[in-house]
Structure 1
Amino acid sequence: MPVRANGGELRNSMTAALLAYVRRARGEEAVVLLLEEAGERRPLAELEDRTGWSSHAATLRLFESAAVLFDDPHIGREVGAEVYLRERPREVIERLRALGRPADVVRYVAETADRQSAITEMSCIASGIRWALVSARTVAPFERHAIFCDYISGMLAAVPTMFDVGLADVTEVECQALGASRCLYLVSWETASSDAADAEIDLLRGRLD
């Protein structure tokens, strides 16, 4: 796990992605308004420094303030997708593509989640040609919040776009924020038509229902 200089729990890649999304969608004035609404006094440069860390409470306050301020309850998902759609440098995307296929990237994202969050346990439980099953859990004493569930959904949904296909379909079949022991995400995406792959996903959905 990376050394956290200020003791924060969440990497500032999350706050940076949020601010980038707000700036792109609503303009620089909206960024200023959001910081005021969240009571955020740190310099903008610090919040956008992806190597830094923030507390869980401060990051949650920014995300929840954005959801209320912009009347967008799904902003977590949109910001999560921003990470791979626009925020990652091209050379990073190329390194991830080199892993081979979307399922391999999903597995890598899960295995390296502790680089972004010191309070999240994440793993890829299983995967196939067109799907992956991902588990995520916030560790005590921190509580899971739905807006961060959405953030992970958005991030996972954007993975296949690295391979020039559309956003994945992500279904959260279990949710820790709603009382489950973990969040469980079924991620599926389109590739060349394959009846066998379709049947595999349908079978998995049936088992999870």
Structure 2
Amino acid sequence: MTTPRDLFLVTVYDAAARPVTQGDLSLALAGAELVDLLAAGAVTLDGDLVVPAPQGGTGDRLLDEAAAALRQEAPYESVEDWLWRRGRGLGAAYLDVLEADGTVVAQQRRRWLPLPTGRTEPSDSPERAAAHERWTSGEPVLAALAAAVGIQDEAAGDLVGAAPEATVTVVAAVNDAVTELAAVRQRREIEDAAFDNVWRGL
């Protein structure tokens, strides 16, 4: 299993009492992909710029797609730009892949998940068990990514010193992007409310 697959499973299923929005989850999944690509040697960071490195396939379809989507020549994009570009619709893409490989299946009992593809639940599989174990053990990177999308109040420990500097940079960028997205939502709500008030006053 990969970090984004584990992140999807634990944020949507283990922490379903605090559902994450599609936008927040997609940004975090893009960050999780970058964390795994860094670990695989498929990318490096030059400051906050994502620089592809010669590397074979990862063995995971979506991670390989992510690697192929990297800008291959300068000027390279920043981590933040990568999150916004790669993250668009990524939550739904992961659900599709997890359904296709049987990691999640059609749900027997009814529970609404914050994704447009319907009601599903994780299957009883080694992948599911591994994700759950990583989550309950408080593995720092997974915990920090989950904290970024509001699944828990604090990451399990400080990532600084517990993870490579490049990973810390990526997780910080995920936090910033999720915060920015929340601000955009708030502005839209305020604008919509003001518009409604104008119409009521006419």
Q: Same fold per TM (> 0.5)?
A: no
Q: Look at both structures and tell me which one has the larger radius of gyration over its CA atoms.
A: 2
Greater relative contact order, per chain length (Cα 8 Å cut-off, separation 6+): 2
TM-score by length of 1: 0.30
User: Counting helix residues as a fraction of each chain, which structure ranks higher?
Assistant: 2
Report which of the two has the higher share of strand: 1
Q: Structure 2 length as normaliser, TM-score?
A: 0.31
